[in-house]
Amino acid sequence: MIYFWKINRLKFDLASDSLPRQQMWIYLACIIFVQIVSLLFISEIEGASNIWDKIDSAVFIAFLIGGTIFCYYKNGGPKGKAFVDRYVSLAWVFGIRYSVIVVLPSYLCLYMAISLFSELPDETQWYDVLVNFLLKLPFYYVLATHVRDVALNKVSFAEESSSELIKHPEDFDQSKYPTILRRYMATFIDGALILLVFVSFAYLIPGNSDIEISIRRWIGCLIFFVYEPLFTSKLCTLGQKIMGIRIRGLETGAKINILEAYLRIIAKIVLGIISFFSIPWTRKRRALHDFVAGSVVVQAV
C-alpha cells in the first residue's frame, strides 16, 4: 500500500519493519518526479535568473544536506537502522501534508498581500528566498521528529496524542471540533475568494497611475479586513459554509461579536501559520487566535 497522507500508519509500518523495501523506491521516484516538475514549472514562469536564484538554490542544497544529516542522527546515527527507508518514505508523505497545510497557503497569502501594493515581479526576489528558508526550517525539524519516533518506536495509530487528549477525549472529538486540515481548507477557500474578488476589481480599475493603484490597494484592504470579521460575526464565511464549521464564543456558545471577530483576524494575521499549530494539541482544538478572541470552532449542526 502506497501512503499519501496517513503518516502515522506509515510510521507504524516502518517501526514494525513491515514496509516492503521496493515501496521506498516508489517514494523516492515520486520525490524526484515532483522536484523535476517543480523546477520546469518555475523556469517556465520566471524570467532570466538572477543572484537571488543562486542564493535560493544554495539554501535548498544546504537544507537538503544539513536536514538529512540532522535526520540521520535523530535516527540514531551510525547505530540506527534502515535510515534511508525511513527518511525517504517519511519525507514523501510528510512533504505532501506540509505542502497542503503550510506551503501552499503561505505562498497564497504572501503573493496576495504583495499584489495589493505592487505588480508581482518576474524574477526571484529576496523575500522569495526568505520565505523558502523559513518554510524549510520547520519542515526538516518535524521530519526529524517523525524519524526519531520511528527509531524509538514511539508510534501509534492515533492522529494526535497528548496528555490533554488522554485526560479529556471529548474535547478532541472530531464530530464536534474540526481538525486542522478542515479549518485550513476553510481558510484557503476564503483566501481564494478574496483573491478572486480583488482580481475582479483590478480588471474593473485598470491603469498604473498613483490614484488607480491607491484605489486598488484600498479596495483590497477593505475586502480583506471586512469580509471575514463581518461574516463570521453575523453569518459564516464561504469557507466555513463549505467545510461545515462555525465560530462560536467559548463560554457562551453563541456567535462572537464584531470586536471579537476583529481580534481574531488580527491575531491570525500577526501569528500567521504558527497560530494553527496548537490545534491538534489543545482542548477543543483551539488555534492561538481562538485564545485571543475567546472563540472556539465547532462543526455545524
On whether both 143 and 174 belong to a single domain, the answer is no
Mark which of 96, 127, 151 sits at the end of a domain: 151
On whether both 106 and 188 belong to a single domain, the answer is no
pLDDT for the residue numbered 146: 92
On whether both 147 and 174 belong to a single domain, the answer is no
pLDDT for the residue numbered 156: 62
Please list the pLDDT of the chain residue by residue as tens digits (301 residues): 677 777 888 888 888 887 787 888 888 888 888 888 877 766 666 656 788 888 988 998 999 999 999 999 999 999 888 899 999 999 999 998 888 777 877 777 777 667 666 677 777 788 888 888 888 988 999 899 999 999 988 876 554 455 555 667 777 777 788 888 888 888 888 888 887 887 777 777 666 666 766 776 777 777 878 888 999 998 899 999 999 999 999 888 899 999 999 999 888 877 777 787 788 778 888 888 999 899 999 998 7
Total structural domains within the chain: 2
Mark which of 151, 172, 198 sits at the end of a domain: 151
Q: Is residue 145 part of a domain?
A: yes
What is the CA 64 to chain-centroid distance, rounded? 20
Closest CA to 146 of 98, 97, 76, 87: 87
On whether both 144 and 260 belong to a single domain, the answer is no
The answer to whether 183 and 279 have CB atoms below 8 angstroms apart is yes
Q: Is residue 255 part of a domain?
A: yes
- HSE-CB of 184 using CA atoms within 13 angstroms: 24
On whether both 20 and 143 belong to a single domain, the answer is yes
Q: Is residue 158 part of a domain?
A: no
Q: Is residue 215 part of a domain?
A: yes
Question: What is this structure's pTM?
Answer: 0.59
On whether both 137 and 177 belong to a single domain, the answer is no
On whether both 187 and 62 belong to a single domain, the answer is no
On whether both 147 and 17 belong to a single domain, the answer is yes
On whether both 97 and 146 belong to a single domain, the answer is yes
pLDDT for the residue numbered 165: 58
On whether both 274 and 218 belong to a single domain, the answer is yes
Q: Is residue 121 part of a domain?
A: yes
Q: Is residue 1 part of a domain?
A: no
Q: Is residue 157 part of a domain?
A: no
On whether both 11 and 102 belong to a single domain, the answer is yes
On whether both 134 and 167 belong to a single domain, the answer is no
Mark which of 151, 184, 218 sits at the end of a domain: 151
The answer to whether 232 and 253 have CB atoms below 8 angstroms apart is no
Q: Is residue 2 part of a domain?
A: no
Structural domain containing residue 51:
7-151
